[in-house]
Amino acid sequence: MFKANWIDLNPRLAFDGTCYVRDIFRRRDRLEEKGGYKITHYLEWVSAHTVPAGKQLTYHSHSMEEIMYFIQGEGEISSGNSTWKVGVEDAAYIPTGAPHSVVSTIENQPITFMSYTLPTPPDAKEVSIVKASKGVRGGKVLVRGWPTRESHQGHNGTCWTYSVFEKKDMLNFLFAVMMTVPRTLGYHRHNTEAIYFVRSGRGMMKVGGEELEIRSGDAVYIPFEVAHRPQTTVEDQPLNVFCVGVAIPYDAKVWSLEDLPDL
């Protein structure tokens, strides 16, 4: 099982010194890149980004669609002449090619977000990241907080899901949801590459028969077609897991097998 806690990782200074990046996962053909497990099939990177107080993330665009999930601080995303306020538990979708920047709006406090990027198309051999001019036309950024979303039962009633972004909102990403697991999620598998980020709680995570302890701040890689499930180990405290996924192959019809034997 591949998992790491962003707090335990050494940061690198990136984006012209405006942001600290903690690399968790990288695409498996990016062996020349430093840091992070090189295991993902399509996802270019999964990282924790921290923009320090008094800094503004370099205004830039890239050939990837991006999902940001904010885990610390408050701030603003800007794209073109538009700005969106963001805070803890918010997620933002940045379309491919949309110029954007992030800044903290709390004095002396940084803003930290998980960043998930998917090249366009997902099987592209190269990606580009370029500085952008403030005069460049902005993109249609979406910002939503999962606590404001209606919950639905998922995985045959073993969890509650709060859908933040759906396939119709995005280009090639399949979903971005908060999943609340009150006890044990049904053991299941699907043709989806996914990342579980533990927002709160403690528990155990089983992936392909291997089981390890998980805690707040952990990111876990779920390979496609591999059975998995989290389980809380704290009485009356569910696991809250932010989950992002993409189908394998990215244009495939999605399937899921539920209620597998939890051996």
Q: Smallest Cα–Cα separation from 188: which of 133, 261, 263? A: 261
Q: How far apart are CA 27 and CA 36, in angstroms?
A: 9
Nearest 5°: the CA angle 98, 166, 198 is: 95
CA pair distance 31, 56, nearest whole angstrom = 29
Omega cis (within 30) before 249: yes
The per-residue pLDDT for range 51-64, each reduced to its tens digit, is 999 999 999 999 99
d(CA 168, CA 166): 5
Q: Where in the chain is the domain with CATH 2.60.120.10?
A: 3-145, 149-257
Task: Provide the pLDDT for residue 154.
Answer: 96
pLDDT band at 99 (very low <50, low <70, confident <90, very high): very high
Tokens of 11: 């940061």
Q: What is the pLDDT of residue 139?
A: 87
135 has pLDDT over 80? no
Enter the DSSP assignment of 187: P
User: What DSSP designation does 185 have?
Assistant: P
pLDDT tens per residue across span 241-250? 999 999 999 9
CATH code of domain 149-257: 2.60.120.10
**What pLDDT score was predicted for residue 137?**
79
By the 8 A CB rule, do 109 and 98 touch?
A: no
Lowest mean pLDDT segment, chosen from 63-72, 137-146, 160-169 = 137-146
Residue 216: CA count within 13 A, CB half-sphere: 9
Which superfamily is assigned to 3-145 in CATH?
Jelly Rolls (2.60.120.10)
Per the structure block, which two tokens stand in for 241? 């897991």
Query: Does residue 263 register a pLDDT over 90?
Result: no
